[in-house]
Chain A
Amino acid sequence: MCRGSFEELADNWKEIAWNGVGFRVPEEWEIGQMGIRHLTLEDNWGPAMEIKWAPVKGKFSHRSHLKRLIAVQTGGLKKTIQEWSVPARWEKALSGFQFRGFSWQGETQSGRGVILYCPVCRKAALIQFFLTESTRQEAIPLRVLQTFQDHRSDDQTVWSVFDIRAVIPANFKHVRHSFKPGNYELAFEHRRQKVILYRWAPATALLADRDLMGFGRTIIDFRAADPVEVMLEDRQMLEWKASPRIKWVSRFLPRPSYHGLRLWHLPEKNRVLGVKMQSKRALDIRSLDRICVDYESI
């Protein structure tokens, strides 16, 4: 594909970032399935791309991994998986990685992809593109690969899926996620500190007969006094806090938690965002501030 049409594609791309990896995909691609280290993306015709990744301990061999990949397949597909020499433009796009290409041919679908290994972060990834109307255009898989990243240098992890984007300290590990219509939740944990990101929509329906404080009371699951208003950059938030009461008896009980919940309304996006922090020690307010500032609806 010529350079001109590649440029035409440039504006209609969006960021996907999940659990340490990130890349850009065409705007119309939607996340189909997601796991802790797995994503499938679909275009208007069906599955368009799949990515899986994992940290590697010890030596990584592309050849043995490809063999293993073939071994776990069943039926006619097994015979069709083969090594594939990637185009020169893919090679250039993946210059920071050690990689090997593969292709396969099913009864109704076919695909091609790469097994990547990053010697810097010691992560291996498998990226494959199903042959659909959109991935037939060479520029699309190429652009996806050009934008692929599996580590950052700032000890932060970007999470960007559907319409939320957050930057979380890298030491916080993903523990669960839930993306139900109207209500998204993304939870992280580091030692005994938990951070939960919330996103509710549409705000007009949720706040139709109550204000943000009234809405907040329906989701607070800890004893908290009335909220206080917090102004963070240009965002006006409501903050609920609860601290454990220290009594001599509590020495013999499990350590109680400190809780903090911040909610804010984005009228222009018709969303309500929230961040909850829970810790066995006093809350790290600076960290909470940073997470709230970076958390946005896109």
Chain B
Amino acid sequence: MWTMKVFSKKSKGVSTTRSEALKSKPVKSSQITEERSESNEVIIHYPVTMRPLIARLAKRFGQPHDIIQTKKLRLDKLGTGVWELIDGRRSVRRITEMFAEAHQLQRREAEVAVTQFLRQLGQRGLIGMQ
């Protein structure tokens, strides 16, 4: 017999969060430096502190344990395009719209691509949200 559970729980909060997330404005971290590759793609240099376990091991072996390393992140063409749109004034929604327009993408596809990318940048500490 055919059955279905129709009404999955969808709290109003989820859509509000999405809406608020789209309103937020990404800001580049002040601790990063940028350069351009030969193909004009952005390379971001960003500081990384040593992981606690590694720091403890380094200390134990008499090595400096408070060194801040620098890592590099090379963006592709699409990533560079989004990076250039981050100016602290444009919202995620506006960046998504501009990205969709530039690449003739549908709004939802662009939104997923841009928000995933921004999330990855945020996890590395390259941007913050205001």
Total contacts A to B, CB within 8 angstroms? Answer: 69
Interface residue from B3, B15, B116 paired with A68 (Cβ < 8 Å): B3
Given contacts A162-B106, A204-B103, contact A109 B12 (CB under 8 A): yes
Q: Is B113 an interface residue (CB 8 A)?
A: yes
Nearest CB of B to A147, in Å: 21
Interface residue from B4, B14, B107 paired with A52 (Cβ < 8 Å): B4
Q: Is A119 an interface residue (CB 8 A)?
A: no
Interface residue from B7, B109, B113, B116 paired with A162 (Cβ < 8 Å): B109
Contacts of A202 in B (CB 8 A): 78, 103-105
User: Are the CB atoms of B103 and A270 closer together than 8 Å?
Assistant: yes
Q: Is B51 an interface residue (CB 8 A)?
A: no
Contacts of B15 in A (CB 8 A): 45-46
Nearest CB of B to A229, in Å: 25
Q: Is A213 an interface residue (CB 8 A)?
A: no
User: Are the CB atoms of B105 and A30 closer together than 8 Å?
Assistant: no
Q: Is A104 an interface residue (CB 8 A)?
A: yes
Nearest CB of A to B107, in Å: 7
Given contacts A52-B6, A72-B5, A109-B10, contact A269 B104 (CB under 8 A): yes
Contacts of A47 in B (CB 8 A): 10
Interface residues of A in 123-171 (CB under 8 A from B): 124, 126, 128, 162-163
Q: Is B77 an interface residue (CB 8 A)?
A: yes
Nearest CB of A to B85, in Å: 15
Contact mask B54-90 → A, CB, 8 Å, 1/0?
A: 0000000000000000000000111000000000000
User: Are the CB atoms of B2 and A56 closer together than 8 Å?
Assistant: yes
Contacts of B11 in A (CB 8 A): 108
Of all chain B residues, which has the CB nearest A124?
B2
Distance of A124 Cα from B10 Cα, bound (Å): 24
Given contacts A108-B11, A109-B12, A205-B77, contact A69 B109 (CB under 8 A): no
User: Are the CB atoms of A162 and B108 closer together than 8 Å?
Assistant: yes
Nearest CB of B to A40, in Å: 8
Q: Is A256 an interface residue (CB 8 A)?
A: no
Distance of A65 Cα from B77 Cα, bound (Å): 53
Of all chain B residues, which has the CB nearest A38?
B4
Interface residues of B in 92-128 (CB under 8 A from A): 103-110, 112-113, 116
Contacts of A104 in B (CB 8 A): 7
Distance of A208 Cα from B5 Cα, bound (Å): 47
Contacts of A214 in B (CB 8 A): none
Contacts of B112 in A (CB 8 A): 181
Distance of A128 Cα from B4 Cα, bound (Å): 13
Top 8 A-B residue pairs of the complex, sorted by shortest distance between their CB atoms: A181-B113, A202-B103, A46-B15, A270-B104, A108-B12, A30-B108, A54-B2, A72-B5
Please give 9 more A-B residue pairs, beta carbons under 8 A apart, in addition to A50-B6, A56-B2.
A30-B107, A47-B10, A54-B4, A68-B3, A72-B4, A73-B7, A201-B109, A202-B103, A269-B104
